[in-house]
Chain A
Amino acid sequence: MLGSGGLVVVDDSTCMVKFALRIMKFYKHESCGWCIPCREGTDWLEKTLTRFHTGGGIKKDIDNIQYLSENMLGRTFCPLGDAAALPTISIVKKFRKEFEDHLEGKPCPFEKQSSVQRLPVFA
């Protein structure tokens, strides 16, 4: 549905920004650092998503997150970059509204009932 073949089930109380962030934290950690798009891309996506989620976002960030992921896709040395980029692209495309909500209802409108903390820890 969103990306790399892994399956994660979340309900609609999950903040998709935080979800994207959680995914990016994982891939940033897993990146070996070999090639530019994966090493730098996961880092900037994680930095931007963290700021965005904690209320520091600006409108341009949303496009930028999509731009960054699209520019990683298909251009990295190994498929890890694709795996990081695909879900992010899908999330931004399919849940753009949730991103926009973060700009108004700063910091995170879901924060109180967030279920994302209960997600299983990857790896």
Chain B
Amino acid sequence: MADSPKLVNVTVDGKAVSAPAGTLLIEACKTAGIEVPAFCYYPNLSLQGACRMCLVRVEKMPKLQTACTTGITDGMVVVTDSDEIRQARKSMVELLLGNHPLDCPVCDAGGECELQDMTFSYGAAESKYIDIKSHRDEQQWSPVVYFDRPRCILCYRCVRVCGEAMDVWALGVDNRAVNSTIVPNKEDHLECEECGMCIDICPVGALTSGAYRYKTHPWEMKHVGTTCTHCADGCKTTLGVRRSDTGMEIVRGDNRDKSGINGDFLCIKGRYAFDFANHEDRLTQPLVRRNGKLAPATWEEAFALVGRRFKEIRDRDGGQAIGVIGSTRTTNEEAYLLQKFARTVLGTNNIDHHRTADLPAFAAAIHGKPNSTASMRDVYDAPAILLIGNDPTEQHPLLAWQIRNNVRLHNARLYVANSEEIKLHRQAVSFTQIPNDGYHEFVSFLAGPGSDGGGRPSPQKSWADIREKLLAEPKLVIIFGSEIFGNGIQSLTKFAAGIPGAKLICLADYANSRGAADMGLYPDLLPGYFAVSDGNKFREEWGSLPQKTGLSLPEMLEGAKSGALKALYVIGANPVGRLNVAPADLKNTFTVVQDMFLTETAALADVVIPAANAYEKSGTFTNTCGDLQIVKKAGELATAKPDFEMIVRIADAMGFDVHKLVPFGHGVRSDMGQSRGAQSGEADRHGVWLEANGLEPKMNPFDPMAMLDEIQRLVPGYDISRIELMAGNDQHTAIENMEPGATQRSELIAPANNNLFTSGTVGRYSRTLNSVIENKNPEPAEVPAD
């Protein structure tokens, strides 16, 4: 990278500003707190100079200059506000309004429209024109994207974000003069990634989404900042939530404030696929099997029955007769609680989850090597990236965005090694085609002679060239998919050790796959990858623990079939659907399922309890990079409960002292403001303050934050700043501080195989995702189960 450019001094409206030479004037003004209006300028997209809203007066220049295209030079004197400038801007707005329908009351953008704001600021209220406005009918370009041409102000932001930032290039400009119009790539419709970035970035209501249009106004929603529940990248999202007859309805997702690891990026799933939450097939009451059929029951009946049966089986056959399958979509607190419940209440290590990456091997390989993992933010800044396996465009949309835009904006060098020519090869300086079964050979070649990778050094010269180039890349970020596991990961870390500042990312697939692993949903590993045989720290805290390695997920299903496993407790997972388990296999096993829908697994259960999803509860998620983020409840359905609460209720029904399970009542006690004679609003403010300082009262056994206290205390690497976390900031956890655990059997790893438009169980129930899939492919596709 070049040395930082020299600072120059300029004067803006009498204020002295200094910034690197060549900084765009509009940005230099921002640093001085002066906002120059802009329609077409958008940070990190190419410059247009098209809307002329940013005109300013630069001393010694004959004409007004566009602040968005002018680089600053030393001694520049700039005026951003004067009668002349206001008049110029006002006239631009007047011209735009000339042909504009001004149907603000029904427009999706109404209330957060940049044209409305500018009209307000520059007072172009009086219409100068009496001629007829041009009108065009609105067009639907895809299930997601609608275009209302008369509202378009031709700022070309959509065209640029789609092309430059998404590398999709699905939008363009057609015709000229007043007939200029934005057009989709396939004449009258779009074939694209349906990310909705174009809609999000549109300053007006010209591009609108099928999910949100005409549903509400911005001021009628509650806005909740949380984390996306679809993939392992963990985009921050602000959900727009409305009251509805079922309690609440999420109508929008975006990250307009650009806070968080994803800036303003969201893929179609984060932006629109929250609609599964309101799907009519959602379970609304517990079901209990009576005379062979699932029939409605009360919550109390369900918990009492499960508690009684679990207790009976445990007392009669021992904990090893019970199996627990955890989820990749529940929060860290729930995953942690679940394994603690399995080990201390049920007395079993028979606990597992759908593994999509060999995280234990990763933890072991980098054990004790500080700073060896990269965060999602690092991917955007790294000078060089090596991507082995995986197709992030499909499976890790945010990661793909970070890589793409790092290459585009910071000239990062991307090296891709893959068996397929994945889309990101377009950004790569080097693409190495690896035979489908050659990944391990490749990484052991990288590790060099004498590596314990087991592969023969490849004679291929191209591999040697790549290796040499990579070794010369300081601060290389190495990202690998599930193609690499076990010894392969060791080879890679060995290779990374030879590169100063190298960092790694191990890609897992579901929203909290990483959390499930870190929190110990393994038959042989406790939270933090401590081996069960050596979990003294936990034994001290929890009392006695089973020492023997438990059953893995397939072994549990086998056990159910053979009759050895008498009870199975499944939370937010669909092993029956994923592994095509025959219904008869579970016939003699008392099976309890907590889920949102009647999945293949739930349909075979003896008790089904309706679960809340990540948008309906609080807690934390850890993304695939290890970035810990807060999950906030957007709203609540009376007809579902968080898994956390249900686990505690079942423990209680088994007669277990729930204080031993959830350390509630131990937190810092603070009153909620009631005793302060709170006037309206005061209690709220006090609550906000408590939350921001990590001082929740934790007075009830269903408080996930009480569990987080314990996690932070006992799981190495999770000792991050609670205040930052609560404030909505991502906190990178250190898996390298965790334990080396035990070696895993690699055949237990099965990638999720989701693509851009699928997302395990939740994706199946998203109307938006389904309509996009149908639209692209009239043949119904097989949607992977989780």
Give the B-binding residues of A (Cβ under 8 A).
28-37, 39-44, 47-48, 51, 58, 64, 67-68, 71, 74-77
Contact = CB atoms under 8 A, between A and B. Distances in A.
Interface string B44-84: 00001111100100000001100000000000000000000
Contacts of B177: 28-33, 39, 42-43
Give 9 nearest A-B pairs by CB, closest first. A33-B180, A71-B91, A40-B95, A31-B177, A43-B178, A47-B131, A74-B63, A33-B176, A33-B177
A30 B179 CA distance: 12
B175 interface: yes
A44 B98 CA distance: 8
Contacts of A71: 87-88, 91, 94-95
Given A71-B88, A74-B63, A75-B55, A37 B176 contact: no
13 contacts: A32-B176, A33-B154, A34-B48, A35-B49, A36-B51, A36-B96, A44-B131, A51-B131, A64-B128, A71-B87, A71-B94, A74-B64, A75-B91
A39 B128 CA distance: 16
A36 B178 contact: no
A35 B39 CA distance: 11
A40 B178 contact: yes
B131 A36 contact: no
Contacts of B173: 33
A42 B153 CA distance: 16
A74 B91 CA distance: 13
B47 to A, nearest CB: 11
B92 A37 contact: yes
B204 to A, nearest CB: 13
B744 interface: no
Given A71-B88, A74-B63, A36 B176 contact: no
Contact of A48 (B49, B64, B96, B131): B131
Contacts of A43: 98-99, 177-178
A75 to B, nearest CB: 5
Interface residues of B, number: 30
A77 B49 contact: yes
Given A43-B178, A51-B131, A36 B63 contact: no
Given A33-B154, A75-B64, A28 B178 contact: yes
B180 A44 contact: no
B52 A36 contact: yes
Given A33-B173, A39-B154, A44-B129, 6 more contacts: A28-B177, A33-B176, A35-B50, A41-B95, A44-B131, A76-B52
Nearest to B48: A34
B394 to A, nearest CB: 36
Given A35-B49, A35-B50, A76-B52, A40 B176 contact: no
A77 B50 contact: yes
Contacts of B55: 75
B128 A36 contact: no
Given A34-B50, A40-B95, A48 B129 contact: yes
A40 B153 CA distance: 10
Contacts of A36: 50-52, 92, 95-96, 153-154
A89 to B, nearest CB: 14
Contacts of B130: 58
Q: What does DSSP make chain B's interface, helix, strand, loop or mixed? A: loop
A47 B63 CA distance: 28
Interface string B671-693: 00000000000000000000000
Interface of B: 48-52, 55, 63-64, 87-88, 91-92, 94-96, 98-99, 128-131, 153-154, 173, 175-180
A33 B179 contact: yes
A77 B131 CA distance: 26
Contacts of A76: 52
Contacts of B175: 33
B96 A31 contact: no
Contact of B96 (A34, A40, A42): A40
Contact of B176 (A31, A64, A77): A31
A71 B52 CA distance: 11
B49 to A, nearest CB: 5
Contacts of A44: 95, 98, 129, 131
B66 to A, nearest CB: 8
B42 to A, nearest CB: 16
Contacts of A77: 49-50, 52
B178 A39 contact: yes
Contacts of A47: 129, 131
Nearest to A42: B177
A41 B92 CA distance: 9
A35 B52 contact: yes
Contacts of A41: 95
A32 B174 CA distance: 10
Contacts of A58: 130
B128 A67 contact: yes
A39 B154 CA distance: 10
B738 to A, nearest CB: 56
Nearest to A41: B95
Contacts of B99: 40, 43
Contacts of A35: 49-52
Contacts of B48: 34
Nearest to A38: B177
Nearest to B177: A31
A75 B131 contact: no
A41 B88 CA distance: 13
A77 B128 CA distance: 23
A37 B154 contact: no
Contacts of A34: 48, 50, 180
A53 to B, nearest CB: 13
A28 to B, nearest CB: 6
Contact of B95 (A28, A31, A37, A74): A37
A32 to B, nearest CB: 5
- Residue among A32, A33, A37 having the largest count of chain B Cβ atoms under 10 Å: A33
Contacts of B88: 71, 75
A18 B390 CA distance: 66
A77 B63 CA distance: 12
A35 B223 CA distance: 35
- Residue among A28, A64, A71 having the largest count of chain B Cβ atoms under 10 Å: A71
A70 B406 CA distance: 44
Nearest to B66: A77
A4 B178 CA distance: 22
A34 B180 CA distance: 8
B630 to A, nearest CB: 42
Contacts of A75: 52, 55, 63-64, 88, 91-92
B642 to A, nearest CB: 51
A37 B52 CA distance: 8
A38 B94 CA distance: 13
A29 to B, nearest CB: 7
Nearest to A70: B91
A113 B222 CA distance: 68
Contacts of B154: 33, 36, 39
B724 to A, nearest CB: 43
Nearest to A67: B128
Contacts of B87: 71
Contacts of A32: 176-177, 180
Contacts of B98: 40, 43-44
A108 B101 CA distance: 32
A33 B178 contact: yes
A68 B94 CA distance: 10
Nearest to A28: B177
Contacts of B63: 74-75
Contacts of A30: 177
Contacts of A68: 91, 95, 128
A41 B154 CA distance: 14
A74 B175 CA distance: 24
Contacts of B129: 44, 47-48, 64
